[in-house]
Structure formats: C-alpha cells, structure tokens
Structure 1
Amino acid sequence: MNFKQYFENVNHFITYAFVFVVHMSTIVSFTAYANEDNYQLIKVAQLEHQLLSQPNWQQLIVNPSNKQQYFVIRESGQVYLVDDDQINPQAILDMGVYRQTDSSLFKLTAIELHPNFSLRDQVGYGTFYTAHIETINKNSKTKRLEGRGDDLQLNFDAVITEWQFSAVNHQKVDVNTKREVLRIGVPDSLMVIKQLSFNPYVKSWNDNFGLLYAALNGGEKSPQSLYSGVILRIDPAKFGMRSFRVPNNNPYIKNSQIHDAIYLLGGQKIKQFIWPGKHSKHILVSHQYNNKYLLSLTDGRDDWRDSESKQVLYQSDDAIHDVFIYRGRQLPLLRSKLLLLRQKEQRWYIDSFAFDFSDNKKNRDKKKPKIEWSITSEQLPTDSQIILSSNHSGEIFLLEKTINILFRLTQQALVNENVAASDENNTRETNLPNNSIFILLFILVLLGTIYYWFKRNRHSVKVIVRQQFSALELSESCQQVSLYHRHQKNAEATIDIVDIVSSEIKFNEHSICIVNTQLGHGFNNDREQDLRAIFVNEKTNKMVDGKIRQISLLLTDKQKNGYTICLYMRKGSDRITKKSYVQVIDELMDWCWLIGEKINADSTGKRKVKSIVLPKEKAGIESNNKTPLHHQAAAIRVVTHQMYNASQPLATGELSLAQGVVNEDKPPAKLGDKESTEVHNHHPKNTIDAELVNALEKLVNLKQQGFLTMDEFSKAKEKLLKTLLEK
C-alpha cells in the first residue's frame, strides 16, 4: 500500500468515525437513565426425561473440555451428561451400585473436577472427585478421620472418592479407576460434605496447586472439633501407601488436639465457600451460625467454636441459598459484584454487594445488599427450588429443580427514559457544544492513531509468529501432538493424531504439499525430493531487506478446526524463529512421513533409509570433501549439457573433469605416468565397486538436494557407469 492509498483510507475511516460519534452523541443527549432491573430467563436445556423420574438434582458443573456440556448429579448417586440442550438419560457413572444393602443410606452430595481435567498428558487429566454419605462400612481399609469421645456413636461415613474417565470413551467413567481418598466417621446423617473445591486462582506452578478443600457440615456448638463445621484441606493424590497427603502449611498440623487436615473449624452449618479474587488470601464462607446466616472471611487459622468470626461481612435472618461473584460480560451492571440468592415469603431475590473486601468493620456495617432482581411468579413457580451456577465464561445459570429446566440469566435492551431537565442542567448544557467539539476531536485523533497502529502491525512478522503456534511436539506414545505458542512451556492445544484429516505445508503462504485421507494424497520419496528441491531453490536466493521467508504447517481435524504452526520465519537478515532452515526442513520431512503413515497408509510409500556412517568415517569424508555441492553440480552440468550422442565419445578434457568431480574424495596420485597406467590397468575389482557406489551416492545426493535435474542426473549416471566399468 503506497502513501496515497493509505492517506485515502485514513480519510474514509475518519469520516465514518466522525458520523458515528456524532450519531452516538445525539443518542446519548436524549438518554438520561437506563433500566437496571430488566432481567429475564432464557431456557438453555431440558433436564427432564421419561426415563428419569424425580431426579432431585444436587449440583451442576460445566465441562471445561466442551463449552456445550455440563455434568449434573442426583442425590441417589448418578452422574449425567448434559450435551447442548438435552440430558443423556444414560448415566455416565452410577454410584448407587456400591450401596451396601438396598435399605442402607447412600446420598451423593458434591462433585468437583481436577484443575487439569481438560489438559492431556497432565496429572489429573479426566479426573474428578465425588462426596457422598453412606452407612458406616467397617470393612473399608481407607483411612478414616474420627472424632474422639467414648459416648460418640459413629453410624455413618462421609466419603471422598476419585474417578477417571475412560481413555477410550471420553463420555464414560472407567469404574476400575475408583479410589477412595478419605472417609470421615460422622454421628449424624445430616453431617455431609456440602462442597468440594479447588482454588481456581492457583496455577500449576504455585505451591498450593492441586489442594482439595472439603466443607463438612456440623452441628451447633459441638465440642468436637471435627463435627463443629469444618473445612478440610488435603492433597488428594496418592502418596506412597497413603490415599492422600496433608499439606505441611495446614494451620493445625502441630496441634495434637485437632486433626491435621482441618483448615477451618467452628463454622457450624457451612453452606458454601468461595474465593473472592486471585490476589485474596481469604475464603468467603456462607454458613448458619447460632441461627443467623452469616458471610464471614477466613484465612484458615480461625476457630469459631467459642465466638463468631471477627470478619463478618453480612448477617441476615433470611437464609442465603447461594453465593456467587459475577465475572461474566453479558451483565455489565453486575460485574465483579457479590450476588446472593435468597428466598423470602415464597419469592426469590438476587441481591448484590459492591464493596471492597478490605473495608473495615465499620464500613461493612453501613453497606447493605441491593435487590438486583426479584423473580416473579410468571418467570418461575412460587414453590421453585433453585441452584445457582455458572458456565465457562462466568455467566449466571439457574437450575430449577421442580420443573427440571436450566436457565441463563440475561438482560434486555436498555430502555430510554425521558427525564425533565432542570434549569441548572439547561444552563450546563449551553456549554455542551464547545466541550463536545473538543471531545470529538480527541476521539478522532485517538481513532486515527489506533488505525495507523493496527495497519502497521497487521503484517508484522513478529505479530504473525505470536498469533500462530510456533512449535509442535509428538507425545511419547506417538498418539497425540501438542501445540505451543512462542516462549510458552505449557501446551496450548493437544490433538489426537487419529483426529487429523489434513496436513498442509505452506511456503511463503503458497501451498506446496497436502497430505490427507484422500486417495493419492499420501507421501513418498518422490514428493520428498520435490519438496527439498523447492526449499533448496529458495535457499539460493538472497535475503534482501524486507524479504520474508516463511514455512508453515496447517493441521485440520475432524471438527474442521484449523491449527497453523509457524515453523520458520525470517525477514531479511533477522530470523524470528529459533530453529535453523535446514533443521526445520528435516523435521518437516519426518512429520510428513509420520502423518502419511497414520492417516493414509495406502498412499504412503516406504521411506528410503540412509546408510549409517560412523563418526570417524563421517569426519574423514567431511575433511576430504572440500568442494561445495553446487560447485560439484556445476562441473557435472558442463559435461552433461554438451552435444551428446551414442556414437561420439567424450573429449579427453570433459572426461577428466567428470572423473575429477566423482572421485574428488580420493587423494591426488603421486606415481609417475607409467606407474599410474600400470596401477590403472591392474585396478582390483573391489576398488572399482567401491568407487562406483560412492560416485552413485554422490550423484543421488546432488539430485535430492536439487542441484541436478532428472535429465542431468540420468546423463551423468550413464557416463559414470561407462567410464568406471571400462577400468
């Protein structure tokens, strides 16, 4: 794009931007307020099926591997998959089969996915945990936490179990992977594990990554620490002969009167807990304490058995059913607010808090929740039972248990209201034009700067490398390939090789090789030679300033998802990528052979294996072979391009030139003419064979590198055979 075209484009852009800004300013001048209470429910999925009677759903959780799927659990012990907008009536896991007897107690109460659930080749891939309560099983060998006391009768077990999805069927749980992590002996069937959670803000490189938090419901003013309403913190991974491990930084690990796994105690009836933010060291606990409903902050070192928390954010006489911090984008008026789901007089409300968690107690007491949305009887039945949840992007989901429908909360278009302006506002509006001109000029300059920056960086080679994947890595099993962005150690995407349907090589944005499942689109030695010839030909061209040399690989899977990997990028004398040109070409050839054998074996030939050369022999050959390949090819090309016919032998000078190129690895002769002739006439047959093999290998190497055409190769080979066999 020349300067004139660029200037015209900028003028057009600024003109359109000016019209847009003026139009928006006119709209804003007539818009005074927006309706902040205009919310509605949109049906997402039907969780009712004729094969499911009275499901009594307990919890809904999103599948991080698929944005359209959710896992939902029943109290009777089943886990179901919700795909798109329907529920699969066939359970992916039925824990009810592990019930000891038909009359014994068994209730599934919580589920949680491992943080690495969707990351292949990582510890925790396809792993999740469940919590249930059952009649005590005295035959279990799993480690059991129990309270101390002679008069304490423990008739039930609260159990945490680890499961893994099948490696073959990703929508089915492998029941053989069942592993009990922990059992807690409890005296009452109401003392259940209400919640299992991993801290979502802790990453794999942090020390506390993979620690599981479990909230065990307790009784009022229980003297037993374990049954006072606790949050446990453990590492659920198997550690030697132990089914779990207690972190060394747990707060009560040195207190012999309190179990090591306890992180918080004295919370009584804990309903829920969440992490307020990525930089917060506290946990926000929603619990019923002395018949009051509290929201309390804790850093894990609190004992609330004798007195309530010193950091109570909110206290209410009405039950708080769910606590949620909105992180989505579709409801801007609720973003970063703490939302409370409450029911009062058979009507549901969503309240919000908008305050800093670092506020002191005095400021917190002054702040009261604001009613954001009152759910009407037309939207949901008055006897509704609601579970609050979220999807992968943090949007609010409501699961209505009586009609078994999953809803998403949305906001209608903002409604304009005409507000009468006061005399004071009219006076201020007289100065609006001058201020508006200044604002418009500022916006136009800003838009022009953004447009220029965008055009300048649109075709930047560094931007291209950053946007595309920069490396691919084959797994040890040769079944998956991992894709990495630049300067990243963790794989951004992982693809099963069986899911790849096409592999396309692009050289300077031009397609030069496609390997796919179609007939004749495999890979063979001829295609490898053709590719190498293209790359060698480009290698001989000089890289002037501004010239770009790029090698990319485009992979396409069965879902028609495209993955572009920029393997080599160079602009002028600056190489952007790490690997050299030759190394990238060799690895690219290996990949073409591999993917050809995997997805189109019938159309893929057998690769010619190069002979193995020992290091000492290779060093000797390299020391003697001082003539560059393109010089050797030029010497042979002089001979082969002469007028050739079968009846006319080569001139003496031409013959010696060809022999000099072919036999350049031999040291120069030091014998006299007579001795040399005698040696030539009595040349051993095995020496002639060795020379013939070496010469032919050299010609094949020159052809594969692209220095000789097929016609030149054939003529040179014919002359070589004729010359050497006459010896």
Structure 2
Amino acid sequence: MMKNVLANLLVLIFVGISTVSQAFQLTVDTIAELPKEINTLSDLLPITNQKDKFFAVSDSGEIYVVDLKQRNDAPLVKVFDINYLVPDAILTAMTIHPNFAIRDQDGYRKVYIAYVTKQPSQKRLLPPKSNGSDYPNTAVISEWLLDEQFIVQPNSQRVVMNIGLPNDVEGVTLLSFNPYSRVWNDDFGQLFFTLSASKNAEFAKEHPLYSGAVLRIEPSTFGLKNYTVPNDNPFVADLAIPSELWAYGLGELTGLFWLPGIKDTLIVDHTIDNSHQIDEVKEGTKNKEAIVRSQTINSLAGVHHMLRYTGNQHTYLRNKLVFADKDDSGWSIYQLSDLNDEPSLVWSFQQNEPIKLFTDHDNEVLIYQPSNGHVQRLMKVMLAGEAQASSPSAIGQSSRWWQYMLVVVAIILLALLCAIVARRYYVKKHSAKHFIAKKYVKAEFDAANQVIGFYKARQEEPESTLRYHELSSLAIYINGAQVGVVDVNASFSNDAEDKLREAFAKERTKKLSDDSWRTVSLTFVDKHSEQTELFCYFRKGSNRMTRFNYDKAQEFVVDCCWDSAAIIAPETLEKRSSVKKEEQHRSIKKFVQPPKQALETQVTVQTSASKTRTRNTVDVEGASKSTGSADSMKRDTEVVFALNQLVEMRKEGFLSEEEFEQAKAKLLKGLQ
C-alpha cells in the first residue's frame, strides 16, 4: 500500500516538473573513430550481450570486431574476409541469429552472410528449373560459426540456399530476423531476406523472384534439407511461384521494418518506378497496387539509410522511422511519424559529406561519417528553467524555485520507494526458495545419447546438457565443504564410497536449528573449466526443498560418483562391490540397534539422534541362580554381546561418552 502511494506521488511530481519546463536541445557527440583499415562501412551490427562491441562490415567484404570504447589505435580484429574464404565473391548482407549469445541453443555463435559468386551453382535451389546461360551468377546465403573470440571458423560454412541470378540482378540485399519475435513464438528464428529486382521490366513481370521480392525461410537444417519453408507462407499452394516468397513486385528494396505484435505486415523502404517510397506491405503482396499505405520521399541524394527507432532517450522519436537525406543545405536527419504525414527535420549537419545511420545495443541512433570514420551518437541535452518555443511566456524565478523544490521532494520520495523495493527484493533474493529455484536439482545420465541432462525444479526437459567426453571432474560437497572428488587422478573406489558414506553419517548426527541449512551438492566441471552446480539435497531447519530425502540423496550421490568415474577414468576404475551399499548401511544400523532378544538387563540408553529409549536388560539375578558350566558360558556370551553393542552405538554417535560410561558401569555392576 505504501509503495503504491509513493509511486503515485512520484508520477504527480514528475508531471508537475514537466509542465514547468520541458525544453531541450539535440546535439551529436563523437564517441569513436574507426580505424583506417576499415574502408567505407556498409553495416554496423551490435554484438549481442557485448556492450560497445560491434561487427563492422566493410564494402570490400571484410568483417571486423570493433570496440567503440577503445582507442582508435588499438589492435583491429578481423573476423571474416570473403575474398579469402570464398574467392571472387562479393559480400552483400549479414545478420546475427537471435540466439547468438545463448549457449546450448540452436543459433549460438551463428551468423548468416549473403554473397554473390560470378559462376553458376551446381546445386541451385532457386529457381528450381533454369538454364545456366540465363543465370550465370549465384546468390548464396550461408551460415557460419564463430569461436569465443567472434572469429569465423574457416571450415564452418553451411550453405543454406543458392539462387541463380541474371546479370542485371545484384543479389540478396538484406538479411534480418523479426526483432519482436520471442523464443516461444511460432515464427521465432525465421529468416527474412530481400532479392534485388531485374532492370528488365518484362523479365521481372514474368519471374516474380526477380521483381523485388521479400522471402521467408526456416534456415535450420531438417533431415537432408538445408532449410525449410514455413507452412504459412502465402504462396505455398501456388506451384507457379516459389514457395519461399513472402511478397514480390516491390522494386529495389533497401529496408525492412516490423511492427510490434503484427506478423503479416512490414514497412518497406524501396524504389519502384523511379519513385522512392516508404510503404506498408501486407503478406502476399504481388505488386505496387496491393500496397496498403504509401509515402513518397522526394530526395536529392536518392540514398536513404533508414531505421526504426526503439530507444528510450528520445521519447518523441520512439517507434518512428528515422532516416538520413540530403537537401539544399546538406545532409540532415528526418523522422516520419506516420505514412500519412510528411517527414520532419530532426537534426541538420549542413555538410555535403554523406552520413549513414545505425543503432547501438540500446537502440539509440549512431551516425557514421565515411569521410573521416567518425561514429557519433545523437544526444538530448535538457535545458532546465527555459520554456519551449511554443510556451506563451518565459519561466520566471518563482517557477524555477518550485521546480527545484519538486525535484528535491521527488528525490526524497524516490529514495524511500527504492528503499522499500530494495528491502523486499533483498528478503526475497535471500530466501531459501528463491535460492533453490535458480539451481539445478536433478541430473540424468543418458547413456544412449552420451549426455548428462540437468533439470531445475518442475522441469520435464533438461535446461542444460553436458556431453560425456566433455566431463573433466566431479566434486561432492556437504554444507559447502568438499568431501570427495572424482577425476583422472582420483577415480572412485569402494574405499572412497565407504569414506563418503561416513561423511554423510557424521553430518546426520548434527541437529539443525530453524535458521541453519543442510545441503548436499555436486559440481560437474567440463574440459573448459566451466562448472555446473547441482543441489540434490537442500534443507533449511525442518523444511526440505528438494524431492530427495537425505538417504535418497546419499544413494544418488554415490551412483553419480560411480557413473562419472566410468566416464572420466574407466581404465583405473575398480569393480564396484556386488553388495548394495544401502543394504550394508541398513544392516549396520540394525546391528547397532539393541535387539529385543538381547540381554534382559536394567540398562536404559537415550540416544542423541532419536531421543528414544531402548532397553536391554539382563536377568542377572536369574543368571546368578543358574548352575553348571553351560549357564555360566551363556551368561558370559550375553555380557560380551551387550558390551559390543554399546561400543558400536558410541562409534555411530547414538551415545555420548557420559552415557556410554554409565551403561557400561551398570553392566559390570550386574556381574558382581
């Protein structure tokens, strides 16, 4: 309740501040200068989860990793060179898989590169029937795998698709994935790409593939197929049109933009019939007459580097199209709010040198100037205390004083709100349930597939896997203290199993308070020193939060040790005892507990583990009345047996030293 009240007050205060003054001005800040080795830049792609690192794609077909925070004289890392890997090829487009940074997922460290070779392909997939003389060139879409330093592995190329090209078709000009699609969506991972249009209007009309087309495929392999066609592609049922097509008849395409939550519509930046247009295109569009909405751009330069702004700094530009264009005063940045509106000026450079627009990891606007290699960021500078141009009058001293007071109050309320939220977050984060919910609690050794699967709570499919040949060592921990290890230098054995069970038995004798924890965990280490932690037993006070009880966790750990030893060091692994250890453990416990047929002596023992009483009595009086050597021998045997039981109970921790001495004294007193 208190948190909601504070939040509402903050909203009101910020609204008040915004009404007092909302003036700001734009500026550009130079954040980097690209090295001279990179000639004209054709694309700048943010590397997922690598802040300030980008793939810089040059017009000459080379790809570099650049860090905009480093000095421009830092060593430059070249990760790809089309002229070296594919001689006589021309790189035309590149994109990154949405799962690029997610380990163990399809798409990890994968990029897609399109290039054109000046020779017909022997394995052409599109068009299905063609004459080599009509299509002397080939557009190739290929998948490449990068290593941990983001360098392309030379032999990792997998050709996804070959497309025959007439001489007047440039090839694949754009590769892109829907940025709004998530892993749980049906269209996640579908690759969109554009094919340039033929200059021959009659040929383009007869061949939809070469009329300026948008295509959509699933780039992953399926059996012997290098790619598949989504079932909902609009031309799947039309045998006269390649089923890969999503829309065609669009002329020269230079940009594709998605709308949030809308799958069947794209905003396209293209030139058709010598007119540069920004159009809203529906799935299945066949020509310009089917375009839903259109905006014609009158350009002096004829080149637009357009993007859809989704950053947070410039709220007035959010979800709007931003592009660079040249007017009479030079190059400028414009924004287009709606296809029914005219473009409006955002920033003017007043220079004739061209510029290109890209986005960073936060989707903020980056400006690249090919003439000097400068990379700049479009910034917003607030002008506190000044009125906007549309304000009817200037803001006086009184208004500025109230503004400052509102800011102070807002800071105080914000601090209180943050303190409340931080406390709740801290309590939740440090709770046992929150802790164990993030951990693996189950593992399965899949001998058929040679992998170990790791599961979190309530998971039916493994979230992570580790291949047998990657397993390097296994460490066993009880309450964070290592009690065993399995590796090439210390394989598992029957003696090691006995010591491990002793460690479990010793921990069992300790009493848990309400705030104390008891944990049993395993740490699997692979050959790259990456660790996977598994909690097979977790208990806080009287609450157990894993499915295994202590005994089952013990047996699970022992089995994991044997299985891991068989994987890591099979040549030094000794044969496991044929007697099951759990049965041995039960027999020891049964032997330690005094049987009912034991001596009838008045000895009362209270154990610290169970706090239950077990009576073993020896009818000393009856024994003293017995006569003959047979009775005497029986009496001696029973006493020795009772003493042995007391010794075993002390070793197992069921008797303290004081309790042991008292019980022994009573036995010896009974002999007198």
TM-score by length of 1: 0.65
2:57 corresponds to which of 73, 78, 94: 73
Counterpart selection for 1:92 from 75, 79, 91: 79
1:211-360 map, 5 Å = 211-219=190-198, 222-224=204-206, 225-305=208-288, 307=289, 309-312=291-294, 314-318=295-299, 319=302, 321-329=304-312, 334-345=317-328, 347-353=330-336
Quote the offset at 1:227 in angstroms: 1.7
Structure 2 CA distance for aligned equivalents of residues 424 and 417 of structure 1: 7
Q: Find the aligned partners of 1:497 and 1:431 in 2 and give their Cα distance.
A: 68
| Cα separation, partners in 2 of 1:512 and 1:634, compared to 1, 3 Å | farther
Task: Determine the C-alpha separation between the residues in 1 that align with 2:444 and 2:585.
Answer: 36
Partner of 2:606: none
Contact 1:147-1:227 at 8 Å conserved across structures = no
Which one-letter code corresponds to 1:707 in the other structure? Answer: E
Aligned partners of 1:632 and 1:661 also within 8 Å: no
Shift of 1:267: 0.9
Aligned residues: 601
Alignment of 1:145-544 (within 5 A): 145=127, 153-165=134-146, 171-219=150-198, 222-224=204-206, 225-305=208-288, 307=289, 309-312=291-294, 314-318=295-299, 319=302, 321-329=304-312, 334-345=317-328, 347-353=330-336, 365=340, 367-375=341-349, 382-391=352-361, 393-407=362-376, 409=377, 411=379, 414-419=382-387, 450=421, 453-454=424-425, 456-468=427-439, 486-487=457-458, 507-508=478-479, 511-512=481-482, 532-541=501-510
Shift of 1:268: 0.6
Does residue 38 of structure 1 match 2:26? yes
User: Per-residue deviation at 1:109?
Assistant: 0.5
- Give the Cα separation in 2 of the matches to 1:443 and 1:371: 36
- Give CA deviations for 1:315-364 in whole Å, capped at 9, x if unaligned: 32135623333344455554444433334347443334556xxxxxxxx5
The answer to whether the aligner puts 1:652 opposite 2:622 as a matched pair is no
Report how far residue 194 of structure 1 moved.
0.9
Task: Say yes or no: does 1:632 pair with 2:588.
Answer: no
Q: For residues 183-209 of structure 1, what are the alpha-carbon distances to aligned partners after superposition, in whole Å with 9 as ceiling and x for unaligned?
A: 323334453211112223434454334
Asked whether the equivalents of residues 252 and 260 of structure 1 are also in contact (C-alpha less than 8 Å), the reply is yes
* Distance (Å, rounded) in 2 between the aligned partners of 1:499 and 1:37: 56
Match of 1:144 in 2: 126
1:502-540 Cα distance to aligned partner (Å, 9 max, x none)? 9886655x54559799xx999998887666444434434
Do the aligned partners of residues 611 and 116 (structure 1) sit closer, same or farther apart at CA in structure 2, a change above 3 Å counting? same
Conservation of the 8 A alpha-carbon contact between 1:471 and 1:566: yes
Matched residue type, 1:191: E
Residues 1:516 and 1:256: Cα distance change in structure 2 (over 3 Å):
closer
- Residue 43 of structure 2 corresponds to residue 64 of structure 1: no
Report the identity percentage: 23
One-letter amino acid of the counterpart of residue 309, structure 1? I
The AA in structure 1 aligned to 2:34 is Q
* Cα pair 2:253 2:271 within 8 Å, conserved: yes
Worse-matched range after superposition: 474-483 or 538-547: 474-483
More deviation, 423-432/523-532:
423-432
Q: Which amino acid aligns with 2:638?
A: G
Q: TM-score when scaled to structure 2?
A: 0.69
Are the structure 2 counterparts of residues 257 and 405 from structure 1 closer, same or farther at C-alpha, using a change threshold of 3 Å?
same
What is the Cα deviation at residue 580 of structure 1?
Answer: 3.7
Q: CA deviation at 1:461?
A: 1.6
> Which string of whole-angstrom CA distances, capped at 9 and with x for unpartnered residues, describes residues 632-691 of structure 1?
34669x99xxxxxxxxxx9533444588999xxxxxxxxxxxxxxxxxxxxxxxxxxxxx
Q: Residue 436 of structure 2: SS of its match in structure 1?
A: helix
Q: What corresponds to 1:8 in structure 2? A: none
What does 1:3-22 correspond to in 2, within 5 Å? none
Give the drift of 1:235.
2.7
Q: 1:394 is paired with a residue of what secondary structure?
A: coil
3-state SS in 1 of match to 2:363: coil
Instruction: Give 5+ residue unaligned stretches, structure 1.
Output: 1-10, 356-363, 640-649, 663-698, 713-727
Separation in 1 of the partners of 2:120 and 2:218? Answer: 24
For residue 280 of structure 1, report the CA deviation from its aligned partner.
Answer: 4.4
SS at match of 1:260: coil
1:403-440 Cα shifts (integer Å, max 9, x gaps): 33444x26365331245997999999999999999999
Task: Tell me what 2:619 maps to.
Answer: none
Q: CA 1:456/1:631 → structure 2, altered by over 3 Å: closer, same or farther?
A: same
Q: Are the counterparts in 1 of residues 451 and 465 from structure 2 also a CA contact under 8 Å?
A: yes
Over aligned residue pairs, what C-alpha RMSD do you find?
5.7
After superposition, the Cα gap between the structure-2 partners of 1:100 and 1:144, relative to the gap in structure 1 and judged at 3 Å, is farther
Q: Residues 331 and 355 of structure 2 are in contact (CA less than 8 Å); yes or no, is this contact kept in structure 1?
A: no
The residue type equivalent to 1:265 in the other structure is: Y
What's 1:725 paired with? none
SS at match of 2:433: helix
Q: Give 1:110 deviation, angstroms.
A: 0.5
Aligned counterparts of 1:234 and 1:385: Cα–Cα separation in 2: 33
Is the contact between residue 194 and residue 253 of structure 2 (CA under 8 Å) also seen in structure 1?
A: yes
Is residue 104–residue 464 contact of structure 2 (8 Å, CA) maintained in 1?
Answer: no
Residues 323 and 338, structure 1, Cα contact 8 Å, conserved in 2 = yes
2:47–2:54 CA contact under 8 A, matched in 1: yes
